[in-house]
Amino acid sequence: MKSEIWAIGGGKGGTGKSFVTSSMGMNLARQGKRVTLIDADLGGANLHSFLKIKKPKHSLTDFFEKKTPLSEIIIDTQVPNLRFVTGDVRSLGTTGIKYTQKLKLYRHIKNISADYVLIDLGAGSGHNTIDTFLMADKMIVVILPEITSIENLYLFIKKVLFRKLNRLLNDHGLKNAAKKAWDERKTHHIKSINELIKHIQSISPEIKKLVDEALFNFKIYIVLNQVKNQEHMDTGASVKSVLTKYFGIDTRLIGFVHYTEFFWKIVKNSPANTPQIISPSSTTSEINSIVNNVIADKQIILPDLING
């Protein structure tokens, strides 16, 4: 059976993408699902540290440079059912990868024998990152309740949508139509990406049909991380409503994770004596709901911490 691919991104650095990816992966593996995690971070590959393992010898660079099949780069972790592929400086983050190589990687990813493949995208919104985000079945963003994270998210989603629309329009002989309309947005009275999409749809019934098809089922799942108080919790709902209004796309709040003082500890009985992240059981249960909400496509209403 085909695996389901989840990509975890969001633009800004340090929001908790790797932490959320590794925790979701472990959660799925503990539910008995076969999971492969892919660290596609731009030079900051550190997913392995969240998994109690040393950085593997072989990485995606071997796939690109030595033509090593992806199946030979995937390693087992200490968690049963959980396997792992690491990236590094020269892998997905660089612009030097040829388009055909990228397509080959996506083909290999789609052929991984697993129930779920989770891709940790790292920070940034370069073409490779955006394309990898777009190839996923479920597009997940991890944000912090702070202004820079939210601004980065808008830019990230804007790039994702532009990339998707541009590719679609290019394929139908309308090269740069989205960019052109956006550059001339004042003339067309376009104030949001939502209005831009409506403008493009008005070009012709054929284009409308194409755009409708491309955006059908286009959903962004949002995880709000490092929540400390009610004000933080409330930003989740406002981000969602602004995103819906500005982009006109289906954005789903699938969960939150409280800020928690987790700590790293050397695990004595681990063969490699590697560090392990220790988090409280409340975090485990927050991750569990996030995973179940992605699977069930269910969104949440963020809780009122004060009034219960």
Which residues are at the interface with Mg ion (CB under 5 A)?
A: 17-18
Are 234 and 150 within 8 A, CB to CB?
Answer: no
Of 42 and 70, which CB lies nearer to ligand ATP in the complex structure? 42
Beta strands, E only, the chain: 4-9, 35-39, 75-76, 82-85, 116-120, 138-143, 219-227, 250-258, 263-266, 275-278
One-letter amino acid identity for 250? D
**Residue 225, contacted partner among Mg ion, ligand ATP, none, CB below 5-8 A by kind:** ligand ATP
Whole-angstrom Cα distance, residue 197 to residue 207? 11
Whole-angstrom Cα distance, residue 197 to residue 201? 6
Of 143 and 193, which CB lies nearer to Mg ion in the complex structure? 143
Of 18 and 129, which CB lies nearer to Mg ion in the complex structure? 18
Minimum CB–partner distance for residue 15 and ligand ATP (Å): 4
Reduced to 3 states (helix: H, G, I; strand: E, B; else coil), residue 31 is coil
- The dihedral through the CA atoms of 195, 196, 198, 199 has a sign that is positive
In the range 115-174, which residues lie near ligand ATP by CB under 6 A?
A: 122-123
Minimum CB–partner distance for residue 14 and ligand ATP (Å): 4
Of 18 and 132, which CB lies nearer to Mg ion in the complex structure? 18
- The length of the chain in residues reads 308
Minimum CB–partner distance for residue 146 and Mg ion (Å): 17
| Angle CA 31–115–61, to nearest 5 | 115
Are 214 and 162 within 8 A, CB to CB?
Answer: no
In the range 256-275, which residues lie near ligand ATP by CB under 6 A?
A: 257, 259-260
Number of residues in contact with ligand ATP under rule CB under 6 A: 16
**Residue 294, contacted partner among Mg ion, ligand ATP, none, CB below 5-8 A by kind:** none
**Residue 14, contacted partner among Mg ion, ligand ATP, none, CB below 5-8 A by kind:** ligand ATP
* Interface pattern 5-44 for ligand ATP (x via CB under 6 A): --------xxxxxxx---------------------x--x
Whole-angstrom Cα distance, residue 86 to residue 84? 7
Minimum CB–partner distance for residue 26 and Mg ion (Å): 16
| Pairing assessment for the beta strands 219-227 and 4-9 based on DSSP bridges | unpaired
- Measure CA 77 to chain center: 22
Of 45 and 169, which CB lies nearer to ligand ATP in the complex structure? 45
Of 88 and 169, which CB lies nearer to Mg ion in the complex structure? 88
Summarize as ranges the residues that interact with ligand ATP (CB under 6 A). 13-19, 41, 44, 122-123, 225-226, 257, 259-260
